[in-house]
């Protein structure tokens, strides 16, 4: 198991977190393999994925330290603990719920709590969030995050939703610690056809757009 510092480092380099919501459990492993081949290793398996806990356990066992497997869409501490028992190395929630942060911190795992407004973001920080999952970020411009960070520079912002090839660098330029990539990376067409070659290519494009390849 990686140390807490090593997990943080893996989350932030290259700072691309794939948000996985598959239609079937059997998609998780080939999808993860494609993302890794494309240069993305931080993979958030959401609880809306069929048999999510079993998928997390399988991915952790199969890929080991090659991937950084986390759990997303966590709504309570019990779910966080179940996912961490299965091997999840970071915990993500779309909401601010202190018990989730407490569960993750007790087991030395980074935690992202969801927020949208300045008050919500500061509340999430005070609840113990290591990072603020700015959600839903669709429709928000990077300038919003720049304005948010001006009075609250201690926040580590990770927008999820609305980040794509055209704007990804702008989010980093305004001070985001990382970005969550959902349907702009793992498209509905890719999931409908199990086109893992296309996913690998799309992952590579995101890494290049991040300015790292």
**Rounded distance between C-alpha atoms, residue 85 and residue 148, angstroms:** 35
Beta bridge partners of 111: 91
Catalytic: which of 58, 89, 97, 133?
A: 133
Q: Which residue has the tokens 């890929």?
A: 63
C-alpha–C-alpha distance, residues 130 and 178, integer Å: 12
* Nearest to 101, CA basis, from 73, 77, 134, 132: 77
Name the catalytic one among 44, 58, 89, 156.
44
Identify whether 44 is a catalytic site residue. Answer: yes
d(CA 135, CA 119): 14
DSSP string, 66-134: GSEEEEES--SHHHHHHHHHTT---EE-SS--HHHHHHHHHTT--EEEEE-SHHHHHHHHHTT-SEEEE
Give residue for tokens 């993860």.
Answer: 32
133 is a catalytic site residue: yes
Q: What angle do CA 131, 210, 184 make, to 5 degrees?
A: 75
Distance CA 14, CA 102 (A): 27
Does residue 138 contact residue 110 with C-beta atoms inside 8 Å?
Answer: no
Q: Which residues are catalytic?
A: 44, 133
């Amino acid at each position: 198991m990686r140390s807490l510092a090593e997990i943080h480092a893996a989350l932030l380099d290259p700072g691309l977190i794939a948000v996985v919501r598959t239609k079937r459990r059997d998609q998780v492993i080939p999808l993860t393999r494609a993302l890794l081949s494309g240069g993305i290793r931080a993979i958030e398996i959401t609880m809306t994925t069929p048999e999510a806990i079993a998928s997390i356990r399988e991915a952790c066992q199969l890929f080991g330290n090659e991937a950084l497997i986390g759990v997303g869409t966590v709504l309570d501490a019990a779910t966080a603990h179940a996912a961490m028992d299965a091997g999840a190395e970071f915990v993500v929630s779309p909401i601010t719920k202190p018990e989730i942060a407490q569960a993750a911190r007790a087991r030395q795992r980074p935690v992202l709590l969801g927020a949208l407004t300045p008050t919500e973001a500061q509340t999430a920080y005070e609840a113990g969030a290591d990072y603020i999952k700015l959600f839903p970020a669709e429709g928000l411009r990077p300038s919003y995050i720049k304005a948010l960070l001006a009075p609250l520079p201690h926040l580590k912002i990770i927008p999820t939703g609305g980040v794509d090839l055209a704007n990804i660098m702008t989010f980093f330029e305004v001070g985001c610690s990382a970005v969550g990539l959902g349907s702009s990376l793992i498209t509905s067409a890719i999931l409908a056809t199990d086109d893992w070659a296309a996913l690998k290519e799309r992952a590579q494009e995101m890494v290049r757009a991040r300015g790292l390849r």
